[in-house]
Copies of this chain bind each other. A is one copy, B any other.
């Protein structure tokens, strides 16, 4: 059976037809306006209509950032789109006569990696999406862990540092504030103030004062050998590994898949994460030990996972 996956982002939606092996048979992108729920719905309806033409499609999975209702029919709260307790499935059903499920985007991406990507050989894994923020998904015994209220896997808000960096959620010390693209940019900007003598390459990459440094500048400068940038990525990796050790204590996966834009840094990120994980894992040597690997499906993971979850 073919299904359609739709990944609703802040400024665009990505939609594609996916087969049972996770292959994307056709896909397209559509711009949207996050402040206009109706426009988003119309775009989804149009995308589905376009993609199912000439194909036998059995269902639609829609991925979005936010808290999804446990029954997978609505969005409880979305950080970037004007949805609050929003019955997205019913709204879409007015223009789509197929079964529809709503999923959290990080969960969808994790599911895709579990089914078709880096995690296809394991039954227990976590996925960490290190993008602007830090999203997560937990697969336990082959099942996606959604939680009692649809909020499982919101690992970015595990507190890592008492009285630590303020998070957009209003709390202090969230993991996301130490292990995300936003954290990387923030750390780089502060390093440019604290260590101006070491930040030359970064400031040059940003084409201006330190406050213009973005996470991608760090990744690029690190790839070119800039010492401070390598250090900043290593530091992010260390926080990543420390938190993965916590997840190992709690849900004990066999594999941690790291995706999102920052994973472009490759082993400059992953080796420090592995090393930090090993240092932080309790009872190391007396227990099995997870692997930390890069994701393989890239930006399409959310779309593919949403499509596949429409089958379950």
Q: Which of A9-17, A50-58, A109-117, A276-284 contacts B (4 or more CB under 8 A)?
A: A276-284
Known A67-B283, A149-B287, A195-B284; 14 more pairs at CB < 8 Å: A122-B148, A124-B148, A140-B147, A145-B252, A149-B288, A149-B289, A150-B252, A156-B249, A159-B245, A161-B164, A165-B172, A169-B283, A170-B190, A250-B251
Cross-chain contact A287 with B67 (CB below 8 angstroms): yes
- A-B pairs with beta carbons under 8 Å apart, 28 shown: A67-B287, A77-B283, A77-B286, A122-B148, A138-B251, A140-B143, A140-B145, A148-B252, A148-B288, A149-B254, A149-B287, A150-B252, A150-B288, A151-B249, A151-B288, A154-B249, A154-B252, A154-B282, A158-B250, A162-B162, A166-B190, A169-B282, A170-B191, A170-B194, A171-B194, A171-B280, A196-B285, A251-B251
Copies in the complex: 4
Chain A interface (Cβ < 8 Å from any Cβ of B): 67, 70, 76-77, 84, 122-124, 136, 138, 140-141, 143, 145-174, 178, 186, 190-197, 242, 245-255, 279-280, 282-290
Main secondary structure of the interface of A (DSSP, over half): loop
